[in-house]
Structure 1
């Protein structure tokens, strides 16, 4: 079986990395998996970069973008049927279709004769523009009167109702099966008026538990040149200042800790950007892409603090889980799938700095609970989130869809 994935890039960003891990899992199971991407980062010969928009497409874009219609200028998406990777594929797997490289109006055209899976990594496919709607539920009634056009991907003019309608039209004749990595996103997909025709499956992301695994903390701290005798808190985000990831909440909670506690802590961050002063010794590791290096960082930490404001099934939390590092996060999106109160970590109320501070203190002061959580984290990662388990679930779904076409 040959599977062709579509994504904005191969490994840059959470959704891309999640898709690429699935790709690796499929290859391990002897599935011929390939990618079409807008931006290629790896050197893999199984990843092909799509051409940049043509001059004609850029001219159309100069008209459609100011009107609030993103991506519909990409007429070349309709020509992907002539691409050799498309023609040889038995099945298509769409991932993130935003970021300006794919015309969603072509979905019905591309799925006319090939079965297709749409793996959701956020809400964009169900809304009039945003990747996460936060407290807004206008995606249930057709969007319009958008309360925040700046949410990624931003919209220059409020055409959210019309984009919602265009997506509805595009899906009307499409042949899709939906996969959601978190229980929350599966529920959202089943509630979406745009997806009523489609079956929705819940298949969590997979992770290589032979790479992401608990390592000796003292060894890891030595490798990272961290100070001896201090508790290590970890905050991870691709962009540390990204509001959605809650870096400001981390800083506010840490600033309110008692001085006696602060003196016993070191805050480790990895991701691009700098953190503000918290009164706590801070070590910035910059952006880390290597999986083995990331496992060292997670294993060096006593706690991961990640108060995201909106998320699907955060890879940061999954990586921490596999390395046996307890987590403090917020009760939003798919986070509760991973952060289970008194089992794998502490689940704070969203936007509640005091609750976040309480969680940090509770887990720091209870060594026995934290050790039990370490064991629970690893057990759950191995039993529920192994990469081969995710690949097997996808292969079963793929085979069912391919067989239905054959009949």
Structure 2
């Protein structure tokens, strides 16, 4: 099958910076290529128009059209022409695009079009309990209505998206995938280290981390906390740096045990995971986070949020510990218990690794996507 992904981001040295959606598409593309399917990625919002051929993958970089008041519409039409040309010439069979900001809302493409629910702006605003821009919600809802099929990366994101937009959505649940071959654990000496990796942003619960670590430090004063990820502005306070907000919340005694390494290359993330004794993810808003899968694949004990999507990834007390991130004492107690019990660490990590291999490996997920794509392509 010939699959095209339309996306605002994709991780490549010649494209602009990418985040979670890009990583998800990158992993799925690898899985599809391994199964001998053809993949084209169309990345809009780029610095120039360019075509990149690499390792069985074709990337179309698309520069947005600049025209005051009409930039979005004109860029949509530019992308529409590209997709239709690729479809008419037999280079693609189907197109998949994310729900974020509803870019496909006014696309009239000849190929079947799938929307994948990674978490729209309206979805995340709902979880954050903050207002959503009317334009974004309108476009996201219209894009969903016009889609030929919908995939949700978790049942939670599918059901909540349906509720947020007051739509009776029919969707298939196909989770994100990772390349488990890239996240094989290495033997390391025992290291009392807690790791958080991901963007430093309020919705990921990072402002709860200082209070949680302060409690851990009271019991285990020699334990280190390492934070890895891009700093972000804080939408609630208007502050330019979430890290600055976090730093002020660590106790005087705990602060020397905290290291913020900033954003590091994706290839280095696994080195940080490997050295950690426990990974923490106190998030309030996710769809199905790839970072959790990466830690699970590397046999790490995890303490994470117990909200919605979490139970679809981790069975509490089997592959990790799920806790309300607002309950600092319970969250910190779970971390301390893991750090004090190497057997518990190992058991959680082993079970997590087994689950990822069985349910989230990129070839497994790629085949599920192909099976769904065929149901739409065969009905054209």
Give the TM interval when normalised to the shorter protein: 0.7 to 0.9
Deviations 1:25-58 (A, max 9, x none): 111111111111125599942111112222x3xx
**Does the alignment pair 1:115 with 2:127?**
no
Structure 2: segments with no counterpart, 5+ residues:
12-17, 232-242
Corresponding residue for residue 81 of structure 1? 80
Preserved contact between residue 321 and residue 338 of structure 1 (Cα < 8 Å): no
**Does the alignment pair 1:235 with 2:196?**
yes
SS in 1 for 2:216: coil
Deviations 1:239-259 (A, max 9, x none): x2x111122211111112354
- Separation of aligned partners in 2, 1:39 and 1:75: 12
SS in 2 for 1:312: coil
- Separation of aligned partners in 2, 1:189 and 1:28: 32
Deviations 1:68-109 (A, max 9, x none): xxx8x42331343321445432101012443xxx744314x2
- Please report the TM-score for the alignment, with normalisation by the length of structure 2: 0.82
Corresponding residue for residue 277 of structure 2? 302
Deviations 1:186-229 (A, max 9, x none): 32245465543x530001111111111221123xxxxxxxxxx7
Corresponding residue for residue 4 of structure 2? 4
- Separation of aligned partners in 2, 1:132 and 1:50: 28
Corresponding residue for residue 25 of structure 1? 31
Aligned length: 346
**Does the alignment pair 1:268 with 2:222?**
no
After TM superposition, the runs of 4+ consecutive aligned structure 1 residues lying more than 4 A away are 39-44, 162-172, 189-195
Offset, 1:350: 3.8
Corresponding residue for residue 15 of structure 1? 21
**Does the alignment pair 1:390 with 2:349?**
no
Preserved contact between residue 152 and residue 158 of structure 2 (Cα < 8 Å): yes
Once superposed, what is the RMSD of the aligned Cα atoms?
Answer: 2.6
- Separation of aligned partners in 2, 1:215 and 1:312: 29
Corresponding residue for residue 248 of structure 1? 207
The 5 Å alignment of 1:227-376 reads 230-238=191-199, 240=200, 242-263=201-222, 265-273=223-231, 274=243, 276=247, 277=250, 278-291=254-267, 293-376=268-351
Structure 1: segments with no counterpart, 5+ residues:
62-70, 137-147, 219-228
- Separation of aligned partners in 1, 2:175 and 2:128: 24
Preserved contact between residue 226 and residue 260 of structure 2 (Cα < 8 Å): yes
- Separation of aligned partners in 1, 2:119 and 2:162: 14
- Please report the TM-score for the alignment, with normalisation by the length of structure 1: 0.77
